[in-house]
Amino acid sequence: MQPLARDKRPFHFGTNFKMNQTPAETARFLADLAPRLNQNRVPETVRLFVIPPFTSLPMAIAARETAGLTSRVWIGAQNVHWATEGAYTGEISVPMLTSIGVDLVLLGHAERRGLFGETDEALAKKVPAALVAGLQVLLCVGETAEEKAFGVGPETVTRQLKIALHDVGNEALSRLLIGYEPVWSIGAGGTPARPQDVMETVVPLRHALTEKFGAAGQNVPILYGGSVAPDNCGDFVTLEEIDGLFVGRAAWQVEGFERVLQAALVARGDIRGDAD
């Protein structure tokens, strides 16, 4: 597979609601999103995704269809187990997600790793299980503040990536997305990364992807996440290796989702700004 030129690589943009939004609130978000995409002339080539809690997934899928967004917005789950079924109380399997029409699964988010003990070894089983079943996988990697202070950010994320992708073959690669989210940049106490922080880490990540998958590794989208907001998103989307944004708080309400998306597309030159 030939590497795609930067202007041919699709831009990805989405949000993770974390433990927020009831099914009704999720449905309203999707209903309100459709007219905003048209109003802002968001190109059809932009790949959008929304990752609500498990309880909102069926409603999100129905609301997306009603809003006419089925081909434009992927609906994602926030986690999945690697086994197809079994005695795993509280867990959800890949067939459970695919049977209701879920498109994507988020794996390795910093909160799952940090608060719920998700390990690289567990991810090494989850990522291939989800990819093989046809789900898109958004695999998150990121170093902590301590790891950054000790100068081992690039090694940390490369290690996370290599373990999680150990059993992934090239045939599944078109469904893989990587989210680079420095742990110190996430959430209310987080500081947005500087462009040089992002490049310092993302270049070794890209190198690890091409080492494992050859030229096809160039086409795996790498998204930035962590305190993304309308006033800083331009710093990230103009970086050579960044193919999208993964947004938390700033996009939980549809007005915010629209504002960040619009600012990112203006910064990329995909749409015109108000001042143009």
Q: In which element (H, E) is residue 221 found?
A: none
Q: Burial level of 126, CB count in 10 A (0-12/13-18/19+)? A: buried
Residues in CB range of 14: below 8 A, 6 or more apart: 48, 49, 50, 51, 74, 76, 138, 244, 245, 246, 247, 251
Q: Kindly state whether residue 142 participates in binding ligand PGA, applying the rule CB under 6 A.
A: no
* Residue 190 touching ligand PGA (CB under 6 A): yes
For ligand PGA, the binding residues in 5-64 under the rule CB under 6 A are: 16
Residue 74 β-bridge partners: 49
Retrieve residue 221's tokens.
């989208």
Q: Which residues are catalytic?
A: 109, 181
Asked if residue 186 binds ligand PGA (CB under 6 A), the reply is yes
Run of H or E residues at 77? strand 73-77
β-pair partners for 77: 105
CB 1 to ligand PGA: min, Å: 29
The count of chain residues that interact with ligand PGA, using the rule CB under 6 A, is 14
Binding segment toward ligand PGA, per CB under 6 A, in 38-46, 83-91, 210-218, 222-230: 222-230
> Which residues, 6 or more positions from 66, have their beta carbon under 8 angstroms from its beta carbon?
31
Which residues in the 89-108 window bind ligand PGA by CB under 6 A?
none
C-alpha span between 67 and 190 (Å, rounded): 34
- Residue 263 interacting with ligand PGA (CB under 6 A): no
- Among residues 147 and 181, whose Cβ is nearest to ligand PGA? 181
> Shortest distance, CB of residue 167 to ligand PGA, whole angstroms?
25
Check residue 225 for interaction with ligand PGA (CB under 6 A): yes
CB-nearest residue to ligand PGA? 248
Does 226 bind ligand PGA (CB under 6 A)? Our answer is yes
Q: Does 187 bind ligand PGA (CB under 6 A)?
A: yes
Alpha-carbon distances, residue 207 vs 2, 59, 168, 214 (angstroms): 16, 39, 16, 10
By CB under 6 A, name the binding residues for ligand PGA: 16, 181, 186-187, 190, 225-228, 246-250
